[in-house]
Amino acid sequence: MLRRAGEGFLLDRVPVSTSRATVEDRQSSQPPLSSQSEDGSAQCAASTPSAALRLSSLPWSCFIGAALAFVVFWTGAAHPLPLRLLTALFLLGVVQQDLLRNKIPNALTFPAFALALVLAALSPAGSGVAAAMMGAGTVFGVLFIPFALRFVGAGDVKALMVLGALTGGDSAWELLVWTTVLSGCVGLLVLLLRGGGREMLGRWAASLGVTFATRRATYFRAPMDATARSAHPKGVAIALGVMAMQIWGSPWISA
């Protein structure tokens, strides 16, 4: 049913144009995230976390983290060896912990930030620490509002602050742009692999239809158990963002 919310309408569960009887029939014949039989649908919903190759297991999380860390180390040949090594080892921990626990712990980010400042202090340039603090501060300033709105987690912010300190203030903007773009790509890919693409497109189409019909901004929120509400591994997107930054830099500026 529709309920009034500000200037528009919100719909928690069902499309506006369907009657209650039609909705009940549809819910009984087509459970969320599947168009197959009832047993098959329940089986699919139960196995959703492990559908994408069981990436949350310890062996897979270690393998993916090591693979991404190696590519980050290899693509960062323009940087000093200690900086490349610390960046690669840090991202290994970020990806592994995010896949395994869906969390980037303080026990990883705090020591890494301290080591980043030590490396900056030992750099030949006299402004190494200032550049590191500027990079971390840029990340914090840009992500403060998204964090306050719960669009990004605290662990993700702290991980990006560490990388901002490692890359310096000049590259912090590139890091943020690449990780934001690739986080959206990874999230969309995970959503499709988990079978939530049709449900999301259906909600968007229904929202657009009601918006045009009522001339009021309308958005149908995903149910609490919908795949669109599940978390995706932002640590993987962060590692991919570092790789993209080291390979392509800022093509939107230099083009």
Considering the domain boundaries, does residue 66 fall inside one? yes
Considering the domain boundaries, does residue 172 fall inside one? yes
Q: Is the pLDDT of residue 176 over 90?
A: yes
Give tens-digit pLDDT for 188-205: 888 888 777 788 888 889
User: Which carries the bigger pLDDT value, residue 251 or residue 109?
Assistant: 109
For residue 61, count CB atoms less than 10 angstroms from its CB and return exposed for 0-12, middle for 13-18, buried for 19 or more. Answer: buried
Q: Is the pLDDT of residue 141 over 90?
A: yes
Residue 43 sits at the vertex; the CA angle it makes with 41 and 44, to the nearest 5 degrees, is: 65
Considering the domain boundaries, does residue 198 fall inside one? no
- Please tell me the predicted confidence (pLDDT) of residue 254: 46
- What pTM did the predictor assign? 0.71
Q: Is the pLDDT of residue 52 over 60?
A: no
Other CB atoms within a 10 A radius of the CB of residue 73 amount to: 19
Structurally, the chain folds into a number of domains equal to 1
Considering the domain boundaries, does residue 246 fall inside one? yes
Report the distance separating Cα 232 and Cα 184, nearest Å.
Answer: 10
Percent of the chain, pLDDT > 90?
Answer: 44
For residues 66 and 92, the answer to whether their CB atoms sit within 8 Å is: yes
Considering the domain boundaries, does residue 244 fall inside one? yes
**H or E, element range at 219:** strand 218-220
Other CB atoms within a 10 A radius of the CB of residue 43 amount to: 12
Report the distance separating Cα 33 and Cα 18, nearest Å.
Answer: 19
Considering the domain boundaries, does residue 240 fall inside one? yes
Mean pLDDT of the chain: 78
* Most confident option among 30-39, 62-71, 115-124, 230-239: 62-71
- Please tell me the predicted confidence (pLDDT) of residue 158: 96
For residues 158 and 140, the answer to whether their CB atoms sit within 8 Å is: no
Give the range of the structural domain holding residue 172, as residue numbers without chain letter.
58-190+231-254
- Please tell me the predicted confidence (pLDDT) of residue 253: 55
Q: Tell me the average pLDDT across 213-222.
A: 84
Considering the domain boundaries, does residue 154 fall inside one? yes
Residue with tokens 């959703």: 48
- Please tell me the predicted confidence (pLDDT) of residue 241: 94
Percent of the chain, pLDDT > 70?
Answer: 72
For residues 14 and 23, the answer to whether their CB atoms sit within 8 Å is: yes
Considering the domain boundaries, does residue 119 fall inside one? yes
- Please tell me the predicted confidence (pLDDT) of residue 54: 58
* Most confident option among 33-37, 186-190, 239-243: 239-243
Q: Is the pLDDT of residue 30 over 50?
A: no
